[in-house]
Structure 1
Amino acid sequence: MRLALRLTGILVTIASFIFVFSSIYTSFGQVTDDVLSFNFICVVGALTLLYAAALQLVGLAWYRMIVAVEPDSISKPAALSIFNRSQVYKYIPGNVFHMVGRYALAKAAGVTHGALAFSQIGEIAVISVAALLVAALLSTSTLHAHLGKTSIIFFLCATITALVVAVAASSRFRSALNKKSNVLAAVHVFILYVLFFLLNGVMVVALLATSHDYSGSIAPIIGIASAAWLLGFVIPGAPGGLGAREAILIAGMTAIGLPVSTAAAVAIGHRLSTIGGDALVAVIDSVVRWRSGPRR
Structure 2
Amino acid sequence: MKSLGVDVSRAWSIKIYGISQLAKYVPGNVFHIAGRQALGMSAGISGGILAKSTGWEIGLISVSGAVFSWLVLPLLIPFVTLPASIALILLTIVGLGYILYIFFSFHLFLAFIYQISFLLISGGIFVILLGALVQNEGGEHLQAWIFICSAYVVAWLVGLVTPGAPAGVGVRELILLFLLKGLVNDEDLLMAVVLGRILTFAGDLLFFSLSSFFLMIKKEIKNE
Q: TM-score, normalised by structure 2?
A: 0.81
Moved over 4 A (4+): 179-182
The one-character-per-residue Cα deviations of 1:165-203 (angstroms, maximum 9, x if unpaired) are xxxxxxxxxxxx8x9694222211111110011011001
The one-character-per-residue Cα deviations of 1:210-247 (angstroms, maximum 9, x if unpaired) are 10022232111111011111111111001111111122
RMSD over aligned Cα, in angstroms? 2.2
The one-character-per-residue Cα deviations of 1:14-46 (angstroms, maximum 9, x if unpaired) are xxxxxxxxxxxxxxxxxxxxxxxxxxxxxxxxx
Runs (5+) with no aligned partner, structure 2: 80-99
| Residue 146 of structure 2 corresponds to residue 219 of structure 1 | yes
| Number of positions where the alignment pairs a residue of Structure 1 with one of Structure 2 | 198
Instruction: Provide the C-alpha distance between the structure 1 equivalents of 2:219 and 2:149, rounded to a whole number of angstroms.
Output: 41
Runs (5+) with no aligned partner, structure 1: 1-65, 147-176
Q: What amino acid sits opposite 1:84 in the alignment?
A: G
- Change in Cα spacing, 1:291 to 1:75, as seen in structure 2 (3 Å) is same
Contact 2:62–2:157 (Cα < 8 Å) also in 1: yes
Instruction: Provide the C-alpha distance between the structure 2 equivalents of 1:288 and 1:144, rounded to a whole number of angstroms.
Output: 50
Equivalent in the alignment of 1:271: 197
Contact 2:129–2:192 (Cα < 8 Å) also in 1: yes
Contact 2:159–2:167 (Cα < 8 Å) also in 1: yes
| Residue 18 of structure 2 corresponds to residue 84 of structure 1 | yes
Instruction: Provide the C-alpha distance between the structure 2 equivalents of 1:108 and 1:78, rounded to a whole number of angstroms.
Output: 13
Equivalent in the alignment of 1:185: 107
Equivalent in the alignment of 1:98: 32
Instruction: Provide the C-alpha distance between the structure 2 equivalents of 1:133 and 1:180, rounded to a whole number of angstroms.
Output: 20
Query: Could you tell me which of 128, 144, 147 is aligned with 1:206?
Result: 128
Equivalent in the alignment of 2:58: 124
Query: Could you tell me which of 114, 121, 129 is aligned with 2:48?
Result: 114
Contact 2:65–2:157 (Cα < 8 Å) also in 1: yes
Contact 1:143–1:256 (Cα < 8 Å) also in 2: no
Give the Å deviation of 1:132: 0.6
Which protein, 1 or 2, shows the higher relative CO under an 8 Å CA cutoff with sep ≥ 6? 1
Q: What amino acid sits opposite 1:94 in the alignment?
A: G
Contact 1:94–1:240 (Cα < 8 Å) also in 2: no
Instruction: Provide the C-alpha distance between the structure 2 equivalents of 1:226 and 1:205, rounded to a whole number of angstroms.
Output: 11
| Residue 152 of structure 2 corresponds to residue 229 of structure 1 | no
| Residue 177 of structure 2 corresponds to residue 285 of structure 1 | no
The one-character-per-residue Cα deviations of 1:24-73 (angstroms, maximum 9, x if unpaired) are xxxxxxxxxxxxxxxxxxxxxxxxxxxxxxxxxxxxxxxxxx1211232x
Give the Å deviation of 1:287: 1.8
* Aligned-residue identity in percent: 31
Q: Which structure shows the higher helix fraction?
A: 1
Q: What amino acid sits opposite 1:138 in the alignment?
A: L
